[in-house]
Structures are given as C-alpha cells and as structure tokens.
C-alpha cells in the first residue's frame, strides 16, 4: 500500500512538472502556417507556447495565449495570438514580437505588409463582427543567422486589450524585458557531420581498397 501511495505521489509530481514545462513552451513545434487572419490550420493543443498576462505580470489574469510554429527549412517563425474573448484593441503599434537578444526593435507589427514574405501580419477579426479583434497571426524570418540560435533568452509577444474601465491601454504580454521575459527555444535539425579524422580515415580506406583491387586484377591478366 505504501508503495502504491509513493508511486501515486511520484506520478502526480511528474505530471505537474510536465504541465509546467509545456505551459512555458519548452521547444517550439516544427511546422508552418499561413498568415491570413484565419487560424484553422493551428492546433491549439500542440502549438501552445505561453500565456500572456495583464501588464505582462504572471501574477495577474491571463488575457490571451501565444502559439508558435517554426519552419526549419524556411527559417520562419509563425505566431498566433488569441485573446480569451474578442477584446483586443486594434491599434497599429501595439501588437508585436521582440527578441531582445537581437535588439529592442520590433520584428513584426500590424504595420508589416502582408505579402507572403516575412515579416507578415494579419488581424483575426471578431466572429461577432465588432471592430475589436480576436487575435493576430504574424511571421518573422532570419533567426538562424543570429549567434544565439536556436536558444534565445528574452522573447516577448505583446498586444493591447480593453481594460476594465474601457481603457484600450491595457497590455497583454508574455512578460516584460526586464521582468518575467520568457525564453524562445527553436527546433534545430542541423545535420551532424562526422569528425574530420574519422571521415578522412574511412574515406582513404575506401579509396585504397578500390585501388588495390583494380591493381591486383590487372596483374592477374
């Protein structure tokens, strides 16, 4: 009985650890998406990466959620931000992505041209037809060229939502630059190259084996 109780407690601890890890988006899912304002291709279970809190403070309520995919071949990061309700204030400067390891500049926002080439941005409209937004899709590229790839320490997804007093200035964020910023871990499938010494030795053995075989055949004739 004690063994079963111990195993049960251990199972609960493991489940809690896995839940915490998935909630913090251990590694971005490999895949692609279409930035067009329609998110039916996204899997809200497997693509989930992080919660977005009021004022970027994990101690406050969750206002929206962040979903990510990374296209390894194209070196494109796709993002989906969805609010818990269609309460996103559709301003031009407030929805954005930043990787502070790269710099303080916005990598994509609602001013980005939607032309199929990152950075792309598209609002997701309110299904009820109001002027507010349910969320947005965005893409950025070229991350593999940076020295910190595939692990970035400070990443932030940001948008503004309507406040309790009808104020559109309330932030919904994964965490601020100097307080609670989340990391961004991208999948990396760079092919492994054999150690130079091993590769060269086996190549020489193969080359000499063919040479010796041909020489012996000629002598036999």
The reply to whether 219 falls in a domain is no
At residue 142, does pLDDT exceed 70? yes
Positions of E strands within 8-132 = 29-30, 48-54, 62-71, 76-83, 96-99, 108-109, 120-125
- Of the given ranges (38-52, 104-118, 133-147, 178-192), which has the lowest mean pLDDT? 178-192
pLDDT tens-digit readout, 58-109: 999 999 999 999 999 999 999 999 998 767 776 666 899 999 999 999 999 9
At residue 197, does pLDDT exceed 50? no
Domain that holds residue 90: 27-208
pLDDT given at position 181: 86
Mean pLDDT in the chain?
77
The reply to whether 8 falls in a domain is no
At residue 23, does pLDDT exceed 70? no
The reply to whether 152 falls in a domain is yes
Number of domains in the chain: 1
The reply to whether 214 falls in a domain is no
The reply to whether 100 falls in a domain is yes
At residue 209, does pLDDT exceed 80? no
The reply to whether 201 falls in a domain is yes
**Pairing state of beta strands 62-71 and 29-30?**
parallel
CA angle 57, 61, 65 (to 5 degrees): 85
Residue 120: give its domain's CATH number: 2.60.40
The reply to whether 194 falls in a domain is yes
* CA atoms 147, 150, 153, 159: torsion sign: positive
The reply to whether 18 falls in a domain is no
For residue 169, name the pLDDT band (cuts at 50, 70, 90).
Answer: low
CA 140 vs CA 73, 137, 148, 189, 215: distances in Å: 14, 11, 16, 19, 58
């Amino acid at each position: 009985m004690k063994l079963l109780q111990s195993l049960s407690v251990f199972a609960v601890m493991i489940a809690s650890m896995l839940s915490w890890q998935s909630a913090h988006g251990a590694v971005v899912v490999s895949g692609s998406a279409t930035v067009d304002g329609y998110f039916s291709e996204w899997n809200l279970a497997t693509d989930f990466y992080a919660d977005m809190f009021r004022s970027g403070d994990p101690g406050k309520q969750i206002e929206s959620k962040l979903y990510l995919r990374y296209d390894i071949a194209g070196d494109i990061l796709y993002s989906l931000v969805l609010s818990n309700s269609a309460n996103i204030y559709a301003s031009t400067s407030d929805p954005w992505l930043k990787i502070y390891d790269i710099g303080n500049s916005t990598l994509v926002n609602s001013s980005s041209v939607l032309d199929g080439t990152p950075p792309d941005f598209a609002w997701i409209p309110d299904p009820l037809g109001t002027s507010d937004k349910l969320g947005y899709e965005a893409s950025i590229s070229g991350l593999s060229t940076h020295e910190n790839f595939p692990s970035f320490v400070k990443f932030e997804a940001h948008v503004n939502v309507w406040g309790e007093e009808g104020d559109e200035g309330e932030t919904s964020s994964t965490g601020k630059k100097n307080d609670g910023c989340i990391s961004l871990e991208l999948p990396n499938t760079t092919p492994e190259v054999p150690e130079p010494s091993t590769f060269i030795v086996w190549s020489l053995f193969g080359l000499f084996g063919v040479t010796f075989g041909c020489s012996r055949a000629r002598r036999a004739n």
